[in-house]
Amino acid sequence: MAHHSPRLAAIAYLAISLVLAVVAGCGSKEPKPPAAPGKLAQIAKANGTQAAPAPSTSSQPVAPRTKVQPAPKAPATRSEKSFVDFAQEAEKSDFESAPLIMPTDETPLPVIDEQRVAAAGIRKMSGKHLTLYTDLPTAPAVDELPRVFAAAVPIWSKYFEIESQQTVSWRMVGYLMQDKQRFRQAGLLPADLPPFLHGFQRGSELWWYEQPSDYYRRHLLLHEGTHGFMRRFLGGAGPPWYMEGMAELLATHKWEQNELTLRWFPRDKEQTSHWGRIEVIKEDVQAGRGKSLESIFGYDAAAHLRVEPYAWSWAAAAFFDTHPDYRDRFREMRKFAPDTTVTFSQRFYDMLKDDWPWVTRQWQVFVVNMEYGFDIQREAIAMREVKPLPAEGATVQIAADHGWQSTGWRLEGGSTYRIEASGRYQIGNQPKPWWCEPNGVTIRYYHRRPLGMLVGAIVDEDAPITGTTNLVKPDPIGLHFESLVEDSGTLFLRINDSPAELADNAGTLEVKITRVP
């Protein structure tokens, strides 16, 4: 939309609007030549990645960075094709429809010299599914780890649709190390393991180093345990982005009063001390290093030697697994976990091909507004059938407890429109209900605008996506707004509120849209 007054959002979103305008490598590398038309393997090659098989190990990098180096500006003329551009040029993929899921034989447990281990100052704890060796002194948060692991197994089984009787006898052996030399001398840290920073899984064994927080110690156990479970019962863990994304998704947890919750979106930093994935994404976005889904799908076997790919792989898995429109198709991919090649990602993309423009827009909204407690389900964009606005105008209802919502009305570029809003709705309930009208409340601001204010954006759903969607740089509307529309498209509306704080909202506002003669 164009305004008679200065655009209030321009400064606030200037840096953000550049974040997702290009695909992988934005802000830090010279532009690469366009890829030849073809399938995902050709796209990955064009992006500078190789469709290598997923590694058989997992290496956890260090916790989030404390400093962010400013990224150089991307060339103004840079232009790279999106996933959907290549798909339109390529021949339709022809994959086998039969699932590839095929459990592997159970790996024998290692033979351990218990006397040698005890002499090295390493103690043993046994649980239902995990035998744990550690040189850490006894402490509740350490001694309960076999119980945590046991609580995860039925959750993993239910998520991956594995019959519970198949997992009854499944066990792993874990090594939690403070002094790795002790484990080396005791024969528990084989010399043929490659170097790793935090965690590693192979066969029926997993290793990880002591961590600075109880949360992250448990997280690494669950992360490596997810790898072990997937490889045992699914026959593999998919390509790098899926393998690490699923391990992060199914390790991000809440453990309270011996109750374990997995696939948990943390509400604040303190609940997931030293995990830091959300901070990494926010820092990358602010520094112009935001990642497209295409670039995440293109991660190769060496990508996860750094912390950033863990964060972005988690974000992709959490987005697809929680979004009500994409969740079922994403979970179908468990059937193809043995496939570690680029074919896996192409298969998933083909499932979503018709929705891909909106997948891309919603992904941008997700990562640009990333924060603890992000409510992906309430932020899922509510769509309607789109029609030309009638000559007499139209009235729509906008829910206060939801993110972007289509009005269902197309506005024409070159015309002036008036938007008038009314109603009283709740934007909070503590310590008592916060009542609001379309201008918002100035006692608190979000994105430099009054909390609860009505905002809008126009999206041309028929046009190719060539940068940042208008949904991440909305216009303020409030009670009354009149503007010349520059480009045709569907009008989307929402109230200005944090994606983490929609659940305590209630009520609706009425919005009248008319064309000014």
Question: If DSSP states are collapsed to H, E and C, what string results for 137-160?
Answer: CCCHHHHCHHHHHHHHHHHHHHHH
Residue with tokens 């468990």: 334
Does domain 114-234 match CATH 3.30.2010? yes
pLDDT for 99: 63
Specify whether the CB–CB gap between 440 and 496 falls below 8 A.
yes
Contacts of 281 (CB under 8 A, 6+ apart): 311, 312, 315, 367, 370
pLDDT exceeds 70 at position 421? yes
pLDDT for 106: 85
Cα(410)–Cα(428) distance, rounded to whole angstroms?
32
User: Strand locations in 189-309, DSSP E?
Assistant: 199-202, 205-209, 253-256, 259-262
CB atoms within 10 A of CB 17: 18
CB atoms within 10 A of CB 265: 17
Specify whether the CB–CB gap between 315 and 242 falls below 8 A.
no
How confident is the prediction for the chain on average, in pLDDT?
84
Cα(514)–Cα(407) distance, rounded to whole angstroms?
13
pLDDT for 467: 87
- Mean pLDDT, range 247-259, rounded to an integer: 97
Using DSSP's 3-state secondary structure scheme, residue 397 falls into strand
pLDDT band, very low/low/confident/very high, at 111 (cuts 50, 70, 90): very high
Cα(43)–Cα(24) distance, rounded to whole angstroms?
11
pLDDT band, very low/low/confident/very high, at 138 (cuts 50, 70, 90): very high
- Mean pLDDT, range 306-330, rounded to an integer: 97
pTM of the model: 0.83
pLDDT for 97: 54
> Which amino acid is it at 474?
P
pLDDT exceeds 50 at position 48? no
pLDDT for 83: 46
pLDDT exceeds 70 at position 62? no
Helical residues (DSSP H) of 95-238, grouped into ranges: 114-119, 140-143, 145-160, 180-185, 214-233
pLDDT for 6: 30
With a pLDDT cut of 90, the percent of the chain lying above it is 75
- Name the token pair of 191: 């010399």
CB atoms within 10 A of CB 283: 18
pLDDT exceeds 70 at position 57? no
> Out of 40-44, 113-117, 257-261, which region has the weakest mean confidence (pLDDT)?
40-44
pLDDT for 448: 93
pLDDT band, very low/low/confident/very high, at 15 (cuts 50, 70, 90): very low
- Mean pLDDT, range 249-263, rounded to an integer: 97
User: Which contiguous run of DSSP H or E holds residue 62?
Assistant: none
Burial class (CB in 10 A: 0-12, 13-18, 19+), 19: buried
pLDDT for 17: 34
First to last CA, the chain: 17
> Which amino acid is it at 47?
N
Cα(222)–Cα(217) distance, rounded to whole angstroms?
9
Write out pLDDT tens, residues 453-504: 999 999 999 888 888 999 999 999 999 999 999 999 999 999 999 999 999 9
pLDDT exceeds 80 at position 33? no
Residue with tokens 């030549």: 33
pLDDT for 95: 53
Does domain 381-516 match CATH 2.60.120.430? yes
- Name the token pair of 312: 């972005």
- Mean pLDDT, range 241-247, rounded to an integer: 97
pLDDT for 12: 32
pLDDT band, very low/low/confident/very high, at 304 (cuts 50, 70, 90): confident
- Mean pLDDT, range 265-290, rounded to an integer: 95
Cα(246)–Cα(244) distance, rounded to whole angstroms?
5
Cα(131)–Cα(109) distance, rounded to whole angstroms?
10
Kindly report the length of the chain: 517
Q: Where are the domains of the chain?
A: 39-50+83-99+238-377, 114-234, 381-516
pLDDT for 50: 34
With a pLDDT cut of 70, the percent of the chain lying above it is 81
pLDDT for 93: 47
Burial class (CB in 10 A: 0-12, 13-18, 19+), 380: buried
pLDDT exceeds 50 at position 43? no
Specify whether the CB–CB gap between 482 and 416 falls below 8 A.
yes
pLDDT band, very low/low/confident/very high, at 174 (cuts 50, 70, 90): very high
In 3D space, the residue among 481, 380, 407, 409 whose CA is nearest the CA of residue 438 turns out to be 481
| b/e 43-54 (16+ beta carbons within 10 angstroms → b) | bbbbbebebbeb
